[in-house]
Amino acid sequence: MRNDAFIDLKTGDRLVNGAVAKRATSRSPLAIYSAYGIKDFIDRSLSFYHPPGMKKSLIIIVGAALFAAWAGLCSAQSDAPYTEGTVWNVTMVKVKPGLGDQYLKGLAKTFKGTLDEAKKQNLIMSYKILLGDAATPNDFNILLMVESKNMAALDNGREKFDPIAKKITGSVEEQEKTATKRLDIREIMGDKLMREVTLK
C-alpha cells in the first residue's frame, strides 16, 4: 500500500494518507502566523532564519533607513526658496523739519559710540543709518539698523548693553535727560526685527 505523507502548513502536523502521524519537529512560518498574528510572525521568523543578535541589528538598520527617508521627505516638503541670514533690528525715526543734522550729531555721540564698543566686544556684527525723504507727512525719514548674528545673540540684551551705555553716555539719569531732549527733535515711528535672506 502506498503511503502519501506531507506536512500540514496550517498546523505543522505530519499527515500520512490524510491522518495525523507525527507532529513536525518545527512549526512552519505559516503555522506561526496563524497562531500568533503578523507581528509575532515577523519577530519569530527573524529568530527562526537568523542567528541571535542579527535580528536586533536588522531592526536598527531598517529603522535608521526609514527615519532617513522620512527626514528627507520632510526636508523636501519644507524647503524654502531662500537661505536664512543675519538678524536686523530696524528703528524708524521721523525727524522734525530742519533738525536732521542736530539729531545726527547727537547720534554720533550716543548711538555710534555705543555700537562701536558693542562691535568690539562681538555683541553685534554691524550697524547702518539710512537717511531719506519722508513719503508722507506721517512717514519716517531715518532708519537705524543694527545687525546681529542670530536671534540667540539678542538674549539678555540689558546685561550686555547697559554697561556699555553707562560707559559711553553716562549714568541712567544722564541717559534719561538725553532721551527727553530728543523728544523735541524726533519721533520713533516703530521698531522691527527682521531677518536677512538670500534667494536660492
3-class secondary structure for 37-52?
HHHHHHHHHHHHHCCC
Residue ranges, comma separated, of all CATH 3.30.70.100 domains in the chain are: 82-199
Beta-bridge partners for 73: none
Nearest residue to 119 via CA among 148, 93, 154, 98: 148
CATH 3.30.70.100 fits 82-199, yes or no: yes
pLDDT per residue, tens digit, the chain (200 aa), is 555 554 555 455 555 555 554 444 444 444 444 444 444 444 444 444 444 555 555 566 656 666 666 666 555 556 899 999 999 999 999 999 999 999 999 999 889 999 999 999 999 999 999 999 999 999 999 999 999 999 999 999 889 999 998 888 888 788 788 788 888 999 999 999 999 999 99
Quickly list H helices, 8-120. 29-49, 54-77, 100-109, 111-120
| Structural contact between residues 127 and 117, judged by C-beta atoms closer than 8 angstroms | no
Q: What is the pTM of this model?
A: 0.60
